[in-house]
Structure formats: structure tokens, C-alpha cells
Amino acid sequence: MRAGESRDTDRDTESHRQRWQDWLLLDGDRRLVVGFTTVVLFLVIASVVVSELAPLRDLQPLFYVLGGLIGGNLTVITVVVSINQLLLSRELQAPPDLESQIEGIIEYRSDVEDAAGQVAPVEPLGFLRLLFENTRREAQRLGGLATSETDEQTYEEINEVVSEITTQTDRVDSLLQQSQTSTFDVLSVTLTTNYATDINRLRQIEWEHGAQLPADVSDAVDTLVHQLQNIDIARQYFKSVYLQQELAELSRNLFYAGLPSVTVVAIGLLLLTGPSGTVFTSPYLRAFVPLFVTVGLLPITILFAYIVRIATVTQRTAATLPFTTPAQEQ
């Protein structure tokens, strides 16, 4: 195989791996992730049983496994519900606090509308698109001013930042046009759009050129920085809304799956209490064990599917402007 073909193969493999990773951690429907993980667990457990690595001659360890699953599921459900109650308690505010919070949101929305010259949509998708349109327009205005009012070196520095911001906003806008209307779909588009580096470069240009920078160019830089900050504010706000929705859905699904799971595993334990140890003959027992253990692991599987996405979103939006982290620059 030629070196070029080898590199292409490596890139394709890496691309497929990245797509699978993104699907598992972010993009995939959590119900599909739960289903996929459940099937994988069942196949792994069934292969161990069928291969005679687990001969099932002594059923006492099986009692321990099923009993542990019941206790573990009850603990998991209790802990998750307790965490949700803690988060919910933070939302129970007095009227003055709620009024202050709403006024702050309205002020922020008015700021965005003044920059856009139109009333902002109330849906996250439309509002975010308006934000990126504002930012792109201000970036282009800054680039135009730099062309006519600055020297060649300053223009090249500004144009480099403007080109990067324009490319990023165009990419995000195209993704938003393809996005659905759920909060996570909107939020996921912005997970790699931290503009701390761009803001820092714009500030550096202002610092280095100082009074030599024309006043209208300096004002345009400040306006663009403000628009980039507005994007980060929207992202952090939508993240808090998404986390509340995701944790509420996680709690509901854990209850939906937890009660049947505990019931099925409890029935499995009762079926092992026959006079000969179990009511199943050997072939049926080998089918019984993977099925009941997989069902017993269902709440953990649901928790896994939701927590990996919550953790990924939190990691990629951990820092707020003017700071950033390596995970947010991927």
C-alpha cells in the first residue's frame, strides 16, 4: 500500500471513530444509545455464559449478583432523585429574585434586538441564528473599516481575525439551518464556538496600536467583542435550560425503567428458590441469566447514556469568557 493511501485510510478510520464517539457522547438519541448499550451488554454476558466460562453449577454467586443489582438500582434511583431535588430547590425563588432575573434576561434580549434592528424570536434556534447574523455583520463591518482606514499590517491582523470569525459563524449558521428545535440540538451546534481566543486577539490589536487605531475602527472592535460575548451568554443560558430538561428526563426514565427492572430481578431471585435450586433446566438457565442480568443493568445503562452527554456538554462549556479550556478549542 502506498504511503498516501495509508494516510487516507488512517484519516478515514479516525473520521469513523470520531463520528461514533460524537454519536455516543452527544448526537445520538439517548433512547438509541440505551438500546445499543443494552444489546452490547446482553451479547457480552451471553457469550460468557454460552462459552462455559460461567458454568452455572453453583447458583449462590447468582444470588449475590441479582441481590446486588436490586440494591444498586434502588441506590442509583434514590441518588439521582436527590440530586434533582437539590437542583430544583435552586429554582424555587422569591418573587423579588425572579423579577430581577427576568429583568436581566429582558435587558439582554433588548440588547440583541437593538443590534439586529428587529424583534428577536422566542425560540432558542431563531434567537441563536439572529445572534450569529449580528456577529457576522459586525465582523464584516470591521473588516471594511480596516481596509480603508488602517495601514497594511493592522489590516492584515484584523482581517485574519475577521476571516476566522466569519468562517465560524457561517459554519454554525449552516448547522443551525439543519438543526431541530430541541434545546440540545441548538446547544450542540455551539459547543465548539468559544470565542475567547478571537476576543483576546482583538484586544491585543487595540492594545498594540493604541491611539494609532482610528476611533471608528476601535468602536467596531468593541462592538464585535460585545457580540461575541452575547453568543457566550446565550450558550451558557441555554446550557442551564438543557441541563434542567435533561436531568428531569433522566429521572423520569429511571423511574419508568427502575420499577420494572427491580421487579424482574426480584422474580428471577424467587425462581431460584426451588427445591433443586431453580425451576429452570440447564439450557433455559443459560438464557435466563443473561436476560435477567441485562434487565437488572438497565437503570445503570440509562444513567450511563445520559450522564456521558451531560458530562461532555459541561466539559465543553466549562469556561466562560474571557477564558477558555483545551476541550472548548477542539
247: which residues sit within 8 A by CB, 6+ positions away?
A: 83, 84, 87, 310
- Give the separation between CA 64 and CA 56, rounded to whole angstroms: 13
Q: Kindly tell me the burial class for residue 24, based on how many C-beta atoms sit within 10 Å of its own C-beta (0-12, 13-18, 19 or more).
A: middle
pTM: 0.81
Express as a percent the part of the chain with pLDDT over 70.
Answer: 85
Closest by CA to 143, choosing from 123, 129, 160, is 160
Buried b (16+ CB within 10 A) or exposed e, 184-213: bbbbbbbbebbbbebbbbbeebeeebeeeb
Mean pLDDT in residue range 17-28:
84
pLDDT greater than 60 at residue 330:
no
Q: Dihedral, CA atoms, 56, 62, 63, 69, nearest 10 degrees?
A: -160
Note whether 317 and 239 are within 8 A (CB).
yes
243: which residues sit within 8 A by CB, 6+ positions away?
A: 87, 310, 313, 314
Q: In 183-322, which residue ranges form alpha helices assigned H by DSSP?
A: 183-189, 196-209, 215-271, 282-296, 298-316
Band of residue 39 on the pLDDT scale cut at 50, 70, 90: very high
Cell digits for 125?
A: 434556534
Long-range contacts of 138-142 (CB under 8 A, 24+ apart): 138/220, 138/223, 138/224, 138/227, 139/165, 139/166, 139/169, 139/224, 140/166, 141/220, 142/217, 142/220, 142/221, 142/223, 142/224
70-113, pLDDT tens digit by residue?
Answer: 998 888 888 877 777 776 666 666 677 777 878 888 888 888 88
Band of residue 21 on the pLDDT scale cut at 50, 70, 90: confident
pLDDT greater than 90 at residue 33:
yes
Express as a percent the part of the chain with pLDDT over 90.
Answer: 11
> What's the CATH code, domain 101-245?
1.20.140
pLDDT greater than 70 at residue 12:
no
Band of residue 299 on the pLDDT scale cut at 50, 70, 90: very high
Domain ranges of the chain: 3-89+248-329, 101-245
Mean pLDDT in residue range 201-224:
86
Q: Answer left, alpha or beta for residue 52, where phi above 0 means left and psi between -120 and 50 means alpha.
A: left
